[in-house]
Amino acid sequence: MNTSTSGAVPGLPGELADLAARAQQALMRRDVAAARALLERLSELQPNNPQPWLQLAMLFRMLKDEANEERVLHRALEADSHDLMALIMRGKLLERQGRTHEAVSAYEGVTAVAPDAERVVAELRAPVQHARDYVLRYKQRFGDFVDRFIAEQGAQLESRELDRFRLSLDIQFGRKKRYDAQPMGYFMPQLVPVEFFERQTFPWLDEIEAATDAIRDEFLGVLAQEEGFTPYLTYGSDAPLNQWAELNNSPRWSAFHLLKDGVPVPANAAKCPRTMQALGAAPQPDQPGRTPVAMFSLLKPRTRIPPHVGISNARLVTHLPLIVPAGCGFRVGNQVREWVPGQAWVFDDTIEHEAWNDSDKLRVVLIFDVWHPALSEAERRAVTLLTQAEQAFLGRAGGFDL
């Protein structure tokens, strides 16, 4: 995008180039009347070029002629509604005039059009950042006003039944981010993204939670043997690791797999019969070659799992905490929770989530997946067939020509 204000327009026909040069000369000798006349003529000849309009806007700003400044900025944005300089200048004009609501609208245009901070040209970084800060302050003031207004009307937002409404306010006014399901693989539409599901949605958790002590004992037994544990992440050396570089092939985050890629791990499962029996109470997904999965997940002291998302929203992930020292935490979207041994939860892992163990002790959680409860039996069978079809397609020897 061209944001130059020099007046020199490369490659213009002779008359336009002459007008641009003469306008620049008039500006340099501070001949305002001549510069205005030349720029207005140039703008008439090039109505779809925002640059002459922007030069006129700067001239009118210098003259403190805000009416004409606004007029020509409007023409500049008619010529190119994405011109970053024009959007910045309009926001500044409206801000100077105290037209706060309109200024925010203009500055929101700046934030929508501007590239990432590191790619903004140097001379525009400060005004772009000002636009972002202005919008943020406006949303904070707006949000505070709405909070007070609702409180003054007597509405009590402390009720659990208004959790979702409170979150909507936080998202609307920029106090929290909006998190949606972003699976790396399969996406089932029209499933409402829920960070942590209500406990009563899964009555089968009672039986699994009741077996917590037995499950923990079996884990401690395999831990003492020091066999069967593998790094949670095992990407090859040629894979783009991004946020996983620190934990790839690392024992700091490891797993003892009971079910992996849809089938039991015989040697491991045989050591944990009570755990395997308890898992039978869960509605485990059926996606051959992928799910169900179940494992003891070990997070060593002073280890953090970076934000990430799972593979498919057709299934959810369950945590049964077994060993949880102080200083451990888990975030899904906007919700942060602490594990409590024996108290399970179910969450949508296709919403951004992360975990940490800031303690000096080991953290252990039994992790397994289940069907999303909103899927009908017919939809579950269809997802199973889809996975079978994918496996058959990918398993074709030698591939085929495209």
Q: Parse the chain into domains and list their residue ranges.
A: 199-391
Which range is least confidently modeled, 83-97, 161-175, 245-259, 270-284?
Answer: 161-175
Confidence of residue 18 (pLDDT cuts 50, 70, 90): confident
Query: In this predicted model, what pLDDT tens digit does every residue of 252-288 receive, in sequence order?
Result: 999 999 999 999 999 999 999 999 999 999 999 999 8
Give the pLDDT confidence score for residue 160 in this predicted structure: 67
DSSP H or E segment with residue 316: strand 315-323
Give the pLDDT confidence score for residue 129 in this predicted structure: 93
Distance CA 78, CA 74 (A): 6
- Look at the block and give the residue holding tokens 């305002």: 32
Burial of 196 (0-12, 13-18, 19+ CB in 10 A): middle
Mean predicted confidence (pLDDT) in 219-225: 97
Which range is least confidently modeled, 86-95, 156-165, 352-361?
Answer: 156-165
Give the pLDDT confidence score for residue 378 in this predicted structure: 93
Give the pLDDT confidence score for residue 4 in this predicted structure: 41
3-state secondary structure of 253: strand
Give the pLDDT confidence score for residue 400 in this predicted structure: 63
**Nearest-CA neighbor of 138 among 90, 93, 106?**
106
Compute the mean pLDDT over every residue in the chain, rounded to the nearest whole number.
88
Give the pLDDT confidence score for residue 1 in this predicted structure: 40
Mean predicted confidence (pLDDT) in 128-149: 90
Confidence of residue 110 (pLDDT cuts 50, 70, 90): very high
Terminal C-alpha separation, the chain: 39
- Which two tokens mark 7? 């007046």
3-state secondary structure of 299: strand
Confidence of residue 28 (pLDDT cuts 50, 70, 90): confident
**Residue 7 clears pLDDT 60, i.e. is over it:** no
Confidence of residue 6 (pLDDT cuts 50, 70, 90): very low
Confidence of residue 5 (pLDDT cuts 50, 70, 90): very low
According to the per-residue pLDDT averaged within each range, which of 11-15, 284-288, 317-321, 396-400 is highest? 317-321
Mean predicted confidence (pLDDT) in 8-33: 68
Confidence of residue 161 (pLDDT cuts 50, 70, 90): low
DSSP H or E segment with residue 346: strand 345-347
Instruction: Please state the three-class secondary structure of 20-61 as a single string.
Output: HHHHHHHHHCCCHHHHHHHHHHHHHHCCCCHHHHHHHHHHHH
Distance CA 43, CA 72 (A): 9
Give the pLDDT confidence score for residue 353 in this predicted structure: 97
Dihedral-angle region of residue 114 (phi above 0 means left; psi in -120 to 50 means alpha; beta otherwise) = beta
Confidence of residue 351 (pLDDT cuts 50, 70, 90): very high
For 199-391, which CATH superfamily applies? Answer: B-lactam Antibiotic, Isopenicillin N Synthase; Chain (2.60.120.330)
Give the pLDDT confidence score for residue 11 in this predicted structure: 42
Q: What percent of the chain has pLDDT over 90?
A: 58
Pairing of strands 253-260, 294-299: antiparallel
Torsion of CA 223, 226, 230, 231, to 10 degrees: 80
